[in-house]
Every structure is written in structure tokens, then in C-alpha cells.
Structure 1
Amino acid sequence: MSTATPESRERSALPVVAVVGPTGSGKSELALQLAERFNGEAVNADSMQFYRGMDIGTAKLPVGERRGIAHHLMDFLTVRQDTTVAQFQDLARAAIADIQARGKLPILVGGSGLYVRAAVDVLEFPGTDPGIRARLEDELEHHGLGHLAVRLAQVDPVSAARISDGKRVVRALEVHELTGRPFSSFMPERKYVQPTVQIGINGDRAELHQRLAARVHGMVAGGLVEEVQALLPEGLREGRTAQKALGYQQFLRVIDGESTMARATEETIVGTRQFARRQVTWFNADPRVHWLDWAQPDIGDAAAELVRHTLTP
């Protein structure tokens, strides 16, 4: 005869939970509430929070504010290092499996859309070739993004219409050269690897803009430029990804005397708003996301009910 309590039976059947949405919407707080309700642990899916020392500018939740809840996949890279979405997929799924094996609820939290999909969806990632990648990166540096974008439009118009940053254009061309297939062909139908519920947080756009502006001003007052300065000896300039993060890129120019604090602050605010808009567009395209308004007073209860509705029979 089983001695399992209703609570333990519920935990054993809980799905993977993904808390998603734009930056500044309150994902970290909701993830903490769900972790407290369901004995969960967080798995970070914000690609800039992978980096040690990048705390203020990424709005990383301080250890002292995590309420004793374990957070996985934070601070595992130096600013000199890089990782791929495929590598993250392996790490995230291993963390999720470990959490589940201990009878706890895995809560994926972050706004990096492709990383979320990599963790929860059936998603194939083609291999890489350092030689091809280096050659394409050299072309990007010497001939510019437009040169590579034209080539991508010829071989993969679907990807060309979707992506615009140099790193992703290089990756799309690398995949085509390596496999003979367009990069877009590796994006399958939306299908979860295991039972999953995605909970999105959003709200009034004007209020979000105010939140983001206040957040950036708070980061500057909290020592963002000093954080950037402290990361220089750690190799921030040498890191291909870390140095381009919002805030870090802008305040590097302040340190170099190429910008002012006021200009860097405003550029970071504008860039963060644009990034948030892209995040909303990405997650809105996924019909499986259950959206909640951050202003509703019972958001924790509503999110918990969504989790319960996805329990395995």
C-alpha cells in the first residue's frame, strides 16, 4: 500500500515549467513563488546570466534574495568564454533531469527564446566547423553584415527574413555550408520533449517602458560602469558574446572616452526596450504560452493553477 502523500504524488507528476516573457516583467519573482509552492528549483535560461561577474547589468537575482532556492546554470562561464545553444540544451536537460530525480519541480526561467525552446522542445542542432566559422567571421569583420546577408538571402531566404545580427547570420551560413540544408530547416514543429507548461508574463507597454528605464537608471546608480571596469582584467573585451551584452557594450564606450554616462544610459534604455519588444514577438508566436498580466493581484495563484492543470493523469 502506497504511503505517498497527495503533495508528493502531485510533485512526482509535475511537468517542466517555463516562466517566460520580456525583460523586466517579473519572471524571477514568479519563479520563486512557484518554487516555494511546489518544492522547485530554478534553471536559468537567460544567456547573459551565464557569465560570472555580470551581475548588475543582467539584473541577476542576488544569492541573498533567492530565498534558499537553488538556481542552476548561472555563473558557469567566464566573460572570455562562449557557449552554443546546443551545449546549453545538454546542460539544461541534465539539470532538469537531476531536479526531477530528486522529486522537485524544474522551473526554467528566462527570456532568451531560442534557449527556452532548446530546453523544452524536440529540437535538432546541426554540428559546427571551426574553420568555416572562422572564415565567415573574418568576412563579417572585413566586409560587413550586408555582404553576408545578401548571400544568406540567396541560400536561405526564410532565415534571412528572420535574423539580422551578425552572429546568427554567420551561424546560418555555416550550417548551410556544412550540411547543404538551410538553417531554417532545423526549426521543427513545436513539440515538447516531456510535459511542459509555459507561463508568460506581460503587461501594459507604457508601464514596461517605465520599468525598463527605472531598471537601467538603477543599474547605473548601483555601479554598472564599475562592474564593466572590473571585468576588463577578466577578459571582457576578448569575449565575443559578453562584451556585446546590453549595458556592457554601451558603458565600455564610456570607459574608452567615446561616450558619456548620459548617452550610454539612454542607449541602454532604448536597446533594452527594443530587446523586450523582440522577446514579446518571439513568445507571442508560440500558441502554447499561457499569458498572465503582471498587474493581476493573484498572479501566483493563477500560475500555480496552470501548473496543476498540466499534471500527468
Structure 2
Amino acid sequence: MPAAALPLVAVVGPTGSGKSELALQLAERFGGEAINADSMQFYRGMDIGTAKLPMAERRGIAHHLMDFLNVREDTTVAAFQTMARDAIADIRSRGKLPIVVGGSGLYVRAAVDVLEFPGTDAAVRARLEAELDAGGLAALAARLLLVDPVSAARIGDGKRVVRALEVFELTGRPFSSFMPAREYVSPTVQIGLNGDRAELHQRLAARVHTMVEGGLQEEVERLIPQGLREGRTAQKALGYQQFLRVIDGASTVARASEETITATRQFARRQITWFRADPRVQWLDWSAPTLTASAAAMVARVHDGEAR
């Protein structure tokens, strides 16, 4: 198949559902390479708390767009889109199958869909961030509700509310107007992993406990001199914000662990809601013995040009 015609695969779903392992299996079967779409795995040194696949467990398969930011830095979805499209083109140019894997929904859409991103203005962004720091999220969320009720209903974290208001100030258009009908850039299959909710909760709790036993607090301590507290995004990552409070003496390991489990479950629920809203995602049960075979059949159909 010509390089330009090679399809794109995206493995999506909630955290803890086994996306990384399925992506590896598909990469081995079809000669693929992975493109990370987990926004917290962009950060160097944030390994344990993000469940980043260690190099030794990647089975020799290249993983793109990991570890390119330090914890003081931020990126944008638009910048990620450019990097992801470059990675996809590079992988295809070598006759390999590009496989996007991750649970950050907007980043996945940026990689696979025709999607326009409005520009940014550092001064406007800084002013809105200062208002967020000074007055809290509620005031900005109320302002967003007046100018863009669709976005206000969809988003609830400070960073994205600031972005939506910034876009409205710069363009006069609601941020939601930049999320058009779903249209793939090229032939694509999105494979979603889901399963029993109680089992997912057990998985997430066990994973958090494994992270804590594996040195999550020590990882947070190592990142503080690198600027973790100053990074607007990195410091708020699941587990990291909870264990910063442990280091500050404001919490205990046991309490931070339980808070991380609760926050991770809430995050997984939001991920499921996001991906469930996309009718193009083809869902598989992570516990099914035929999981890999079913996913491979989906990819094979795209190879044959049957899916769009």
C-alpha cells in the first residue's frame, strides 16, 4: 500500500483500560509505531504517576510525542496537532502504520480529524489566568455561560475555561463553533476499550496503590526542583497535586492515595463520556479473550479500504 494511503489507527478509552498493551499488539501485528495522545505523558520525569510505559516494556516499538516538555512548560492542542501530523507522515513515509494511543479526547481529535484551532494571545491569556487565580473558577465559568453556553456545559477545568474565553475575546466566536462535524483527515479506525465499571474501579485503585508503592512521592519530590510547582498544567496532574500536599505536610500518604483514586475514577468517567459521544468509535470489551483478534480485524478492514 502506498505510504499516503496507509490508514490511521486510534486506540482510545478510559485510563486503566489497557490501551497501551493493545496498541503494542497491533503495532507488532501490522508493523506500526505509536503516537502518544496522553497530555500528561508529554512531560519528562512524570513517569510513575502517568503510568508511562517504560522503555524496556515497549518491545522495541517506537513511541512518538513522549517526554518533550519539562514540567514548567505547557503546549497547546494546535501545537500538538502539528507535531502529531508530522509524526503520522514520518511513520507512513517508512511504510509503517501510525497508531495514536491515549485518553486525552481533544488531542485524539486533533490528530485524526479535520479541526481548526483559533490563534492565541499571550497577554489575553495571562490576564484571564490572573483572574482565575484571583477570583476562582466560578466567576469565569459564569462569564463563559453567557457567551458560550455549549462550551460551558462541556468543560469544567480552569485551563479550558480560560482558553474558551480567550478564543471568544479574540474572534468574537464561541469556542464551541470551532468543533465542527466529525470528519477524519484520512481513513481511520478508532478502537475504544471499555468494560465492567466495577472492574475498572478495582483496576484504578490497584494501579494507584502500585504507583505509590513504586515511588510516586519520591518522583514528585524529584520534580519540585525542576519546577513542578511552577508548571500550570503539570502540577495539577492526577497524583502529583495530591502528593505535593503530602510533601507540604498538609496531607498523608493514605489520604492522598484515596483522593487520587477518587479523582482518577472521576477522570475515567469523563473520558468514557467524551468518547461515547463519538459514534465512529468501535467499542471492545477489554476482558474479551478475542480482544486482539477483533481489533486486528477492524484494522485489516481499514487496510482494505472498507472503513472510513
TM-score by length of 1: 0.96
One-letter amino acid matched to 2:255: R
2:282 to 284, 287, 290: 290
Equivalent residue number for residue 115 of structure 1: 107
1:209 and 2:219 are equivalent in the alignment: no
TM-aligned CA distance change 1:172 to 1:11, over 3 Å:
closer
Is 1:45 matched up with 2:57?
Answer: no
Q: Distance in 2 between matches of 1:149 and 1:20?
A: 28
Partner secondary structure for residue 257 of structure 1: coil
Partner of 2:175: 183
1:159 aligned residue (151, 163, 175): 151
Contact 2:7 2:303 in 1 (8 A): yes
CA contact (8 A) 2:4 2:93 kept: no
1:147 match: 139
The number of residue pairs the alignment matches comes to 305
Residue by residue over 1:37-73, the C-alpha shift from the partner in whole angstroms, topping out at 9 and shown as x without a partner, is 0000000000000000000000000000000000000
Q: For each residue in 1:23-46, what CA deviation from the matched residue of structure 2 results, as whole angstroms up to 9, or x when unmatched?
A: 000000000000000000000000
Which of 52, 66, 72 is matched with 2:58 structurally?
66
Measured against aligned partners, the alpha-carbon deviations of 1:209-257 in whole angstroms (never above 9, x if no partner) come to 0000000000000000000000011110111100000000000000000
Structure 1 residue 20 displacement after superposition: 0.3
Q: Name the amino acid aligned to 1:193.
A: V
Distance 1:216 1:144 in 2: 29
- For 1:99, what is the secondary structure of its paired residue? helix
| Percent identity of paired positions between Structure 1 and Structure 2 | 78
Note the C-alpha offset of 1:11: 8.1
**Mapped pair 1:96 → 2:93:** no
Does the residue aligned with 1:263 lie in a helix, a strand or coil? helix
Q: Secondary structure at the match of 1:310?
A: helix
Q: 1:291 aligns to what SS in structure 2?
A: strand
Partner Cα distance (1:163, 1:293) in 2: 28
Over aligned residues, Cα RMSD in angstroms?
Answer: 1.1
- Structure-2 separation of matches of 1:297 and 1:253: 41
Q: State how far apart, in whole Å, the 1-side matches of 2:252 and 2:57 are.
A: 32
Q: Does the 8 Å contact 2:3/2:94 carry over to 1?
A: no
1:231 maps to amino acid: L
Secondary structure of the corresponding residue to residue 42 of structure 1:
strand
Q: Shift of residue 10 of structure 1?
A: 9.1
1:133: which partner in 2?
125
CA contact (8 A) 2:243 2:253 kept: yes
Post-superposition, which runs of at least 4 consecutive aligned residues in structure 1 deviate over 3 A?
A: 9-14
1:18 paired with 2:33, answer no
Does the aligned pair in 2 maintain the 1:20–1:109 contact within 8 Å?
yes
Give the structure 2 partner of residue 227 of structure 1: 219
Most deviating of 143-152 and 104-113: 143-152
1:116 alignment partner, SS class? helix
Structure 2 residue aligned with 1:4: none
Q: Unpaired segments of 5 or more residues in structure 1? A: 1-8
Gaps of 5+ in 2: none
Cα distance, 1:285 vs. partner?
0.4
CA positional deviation for 1:14: 3.6
Q: Is the 8 A contact 1:10 1:311 kept in 2?
A: no
Letter matched to residue 179 of structure 2:
M
Match of 1:87 in 2: 79
8 A Cα contact 2:11 2:192, kept in partner: yes
Query: Could you tell me which amino acid in structure 1 is paired with residue 290 of structure 2?
Result: D
Distance in 2 (CA, whole Å) between partners of 1:310 and 1:17 is 9
- Partners of 1:13 and 1:312 within 8 A in 2: no
Is 1:299–2:288 an aligned residue pair? Answer: no
**Match of residue 22 from structure 2:** 30
Question: Residue 198 of structure 1 aligns with which residue?
Answer: 190
What CA distance in whole angstroms lies between the structure 2 residues aligned with 1:73 and 1:24? 20
Shift of 1:312: 4.7
Structure 2 Cα separation of the partners of residues 195 and 142 of structure 1: 46
